[in-house]
A and B are shown apart, each in its own frame.
Chain A
Amino acid sequence: MSAVTTDTSAEKIASAKARQARITGGILIGLSLLVLFLLDVAASEVATFKLSRPRDAWVLPDLVVPGAFNTIAAALLAFLGVRQFLRGGGRWTSLSLGIGIALVIMAFLVWATAGKSFSLTGMLQATMVRAVPIALGGLAGVLSERVAVINIAIEGMLLAGAFTGALMGSLLGGWGGLVMAVLVGGMFGMILAALVVTFRMDQIIAGVVINLFVLGLTSYVTSQVFAEHRYLNNAEIFRSWKIPILGDIPVLGPTLFNQNIFVYGALILVAVATYYLFHTKGGLRARAVGEHPRAADTLGVDVYFTRYLHVTLAGMVAGFGGAWFTLGSVGRFDENMTGGRGFIGLAAMIFGRWHPVGALSAALIFGFADSLQQKLALLNTPIPSEFLAMAPYIATIIVVAGLIGKARPPAADGRPYVKE
């Protein structure tokens, strides 16, 4: 470090960029060797990916990839790596890394599937489904952290939504259950807002308290009440609803257009939230409250109200996501059934750089790792099942720790605002 103190800042940036390019180049060359030696597939073997399922309207032939693909992938990786190493430019660095990782994943799939087959469409559909609660959790995080309220309570809000969905869904039917789940989620959002905005409680502690409260309460009711009165925990689920014509498109149709309302809801909410936060007056004010509440206050924005509103909205989104566990999946509540998905949602939010679309993309990566893990277990790869089960979490750690680059939270994130 001390050797470069005489450099001007422009030179520093240039050398940092060059170093980053060399590191990327090194990683890509390493990946190339990995593919060449560890993921070596005999050229005579083929990997078969099924694109259509027996009942699809338009049937595509299976995608058959010869084993030579991996050799080509290794060569491509080596080319990208050497190119980066010798004359890498800043603009190409992340693109090369992205292409490289995609190539490695494809090579890995070909290696695992060599001589066998699996349903690619099924895997993509599962990716989407498994991403929904995480994306909604992440979106809830975005909404509240954009107004500078750290929301650790997402897990509890998901669980509350799941519980309410099952209970009210059993009593009032699916739509009633869904509305109540959203309202109860919103209620917990409002409680969090009251604790941290009005009473200026430590935001992390307030979130943890809500999580523990919801977990304790729902577990108690499940073991004491639901065990005796089964009819209270037997909700009708929302079945998947195929969008005409679009749902028949091979691969894309089942993935995007033949899902239940929670998947459509998550996609719509992400789009609406993106538009709202970045293209409307209200969104601008909300972000101002998150970045510099004093300035916003001076210009006449009601900081407290803005925070209450957005944290409550975040709770409603999380409540909707929670209802997915019961009304969108199994129709029955079970203790702690969200299983930490709210925290993964928080990780998705950070990886997505506090942006709704980013959070959705991160959730999809998690969903992909999750469904990939299930397929690999079926393919009898030599990797132990315990390790495969870790895959989604490893993916989360990698994306959060290594690949996000410089993500910056809203400047006032986590700090209470005191009006003067």
Chain B
Amino acid sequence: MTFLTKTGLAAVLVAGSVTAASAFTACQVTDTGGIDDAGFNQTAWKGVQDSMAEYGIEGRFLESQAEADYEANLNSLLGGACDVIITVGFLMGDATATSAAANPDQKYSIVDYAYDPTIPNVVGQVYATDQAAFLAGYLAAGMTETGVLGTFGGINIPPVTVFMDGFVHGANHYNSVHGTDVTVLGWNPESQEGLFTGNFDSLDDGRAFAQNLYDEGADIIMPVAGPVGLGSASLANELGTDELKIIGVDADQTQTDPDRAHVYLTSVLKRMDATVQAVIKAAMDDTFEGGLIVGTLENGGVGLAPFHSFEDAVPAELKAEIEEIKAAIIDGSLTIGG
């Protein structure tokens, strides 16, 4: 029943944004977090918005309210209205592959999924997020006062856990360089098990999970669960940043969550806007080719956001070390988890 109403609602949204079919149109299907999730989906949508502004194309989006909506949303975009369909999220991998196989002339691109073997009409956009998260883990290990860091995820899937992997390895690297004993709660890279809310939309879970980690001594937490992390930011705001700081993910969350900008130590950037825009450009120029785009520290597809209000609090030596590590990762002299 929920599904029916929500699909009905989605249909209304589409009807509202249908425009002339003559111009180049890029269509996007979001994951369940919603287009205004201050992170993942919003960043991917920004790629379409930027393209609209720069190339004068049309852009449309459909929100998936539940996983059952993926296929229905994809089907409703077929029929020649969209020049390229961009699906956002690992969970949409199967639905996108099915739709792409059934419609070989339609161009597709998916964020956070790499097909093996590749599909000729799909571009997968993936990110070496662990590189950027490694820097965040190193930074957090250098900034913690309690010696305990925390992280939790939405669902145990690779695009989420790659953040957590990098974060833990970064903190461990700090330990081996400085001889410290900083621990990270909430993720075990060996067993690939950890703390997960099981959803990407219950903000209250974000607060409860952050409280849990805080009770165990964590003073810097990286939530990797889309808008759920906003609940964690709310707790940090209440406790004060001396007690608890948050590391944002996907977008620079000081920009997407301006009301609580002061709680974000930094953000692990995953520039989905850049890769989405690159795919749209390729589709417009007829250079579109199925395969893979990988965002790395080197090509700017992933990165660390500025420290904003913590600019003065982060010691200069730590900043310099992070720059060195970044260079070492780019030139390959430092491998993550190695």
Contact = CB atoms under 8 A, between A and B. Distances in A.
Point out which of A126, A334, A380, A386 has the most chain B C-beta atoms below 10 A from its C-beta: A334
Nearest to A208: B1
A330 interface: yes
A219 B238 contact: no
Interface in A210-232: 212, 215-216, 219-220, 223, 226-227, 230
Interface in B173-196: 185-186, 188, 191, 193-196
Task: Please classify how large the interface on chain A is, using the bins under 10, 10 to 19, 20 to 34, 35 or more.
Answer: 35 or more
Contacts of B198: 386, 389
Contact of B208 (A53, A129, A220, A226): A129
B168 interface: no
Contact of B231 (A118, A219, A330): A330
A248 to B, nearest CB: 17
A54 B259 CA distance: 29
A207 to B, nearest CB: 12
A216 B5 contact: yes
B193 A380 contact: yes
B9 A219 contact: yes
B195 A337 contact: no
A385 B207 contact: no
B204 A385 contact: no
A330 B203 contact: yes
Nearest to A390: B198
B237 to A, nearest CB: 8
Task: Please classify how large the interface on chain B is, using the bins under 10, 10 to 19, 20 to 34, 35 or more.
Answer: 35 or more
Interface of chain A: mostly helix, strand, loop or mixed: helix
Contacts of B211: 122, 126, 129
Contacts of A119: 215-216
Interface string B1-39: 110011011000100000000000000000000111000
Given A330-B207, A332-B203, A339-B202, A223 B63 contact: yes
A20 interface: no
Interface in B21-62: 34-36
B166 interface: no
A374 B230 CA distance: 18
Contacts of B5: 212, 215-216
A330 B204 contact: yes
A377 B202 contact: no
B9 to A, nearest CB: 6
Interface string A373-414: 011011010001110010000000000000000000000000
Contact of A234 (B199, B203, B259): B259
A380 B195 contact: no
Contacts of A315: none
Nearest to B36: A227
Contacts of B185: 378
B288 interface: no
B252 interface: no
Given A223-B13, A339-B202, A384 B193 contact: yes
B34 A223 contact: yes
A179 to B, nearest CB: 22
A374 B203 contact: no
Given A216-B9, A227-B35, A378-B185, A325 B204 contact: yes
A389 B191 CA distance: 17
Interface in A180-208: 208
A329 B207 contact: yes
A126 B193 contact: no
Contact of B193 (A208, A337, A385): A385
A330 B195 contact: no
A29 interface: no
A335 interface: yes
B208 A337 contact: no
Contacts of B303: none
A332 B234 contact: yes
Interface string A25-68: 00000000000000000000000000001000000000000000
A335 B65 contact: yes
A304 to B, nearest CB: 30
Given A129-B208, A227-B35, A212 B203 contact: no
B156 interface: yes
Interface in B120-157: 156
B32 to A, nearest CB: 9
A239 interface: yes
Contacts of A234: 259
A329 B212 contact: no
A389 B234 contact: no
B250 interface: no
Contacts of B258: 230
A42 to B, nearest CB: 20
A285 interface: no
A261 to B, nearest CB: 14
Nearest to B152: A377
B206 interface: yes
A385 B194 contact: yes
A228 to B, nearest CB: 9
25 contacts: A118-B216, A119-B215, A126-B208, A126-B211, A126-B212, A126-B215, A215-B2, A227-B36, A237-B234, A329-B203, A329-B204, A329-B231, A332-B234, A334-B227, A334-B230, A339-B199, A339-B201, A339-B202, A374-B212, A378-B185, A378-B186, A385-B156, A385-B195, A386-B198, A389-B196
Given A335-B34, A385-B193, 10 more contacts: A119-B215, A129-B208, A329-B234, A334-B202, A336-B2, A374-B209, A386-B198, A389-B196, A389-B197, A389-B198
Give the 8 A-B CB pairs with smallest separation, nearest first: A122-B215, A227-B36, A389-B198, A377-B195, A330-B234, A330-B203, A330-B231, A119-B215
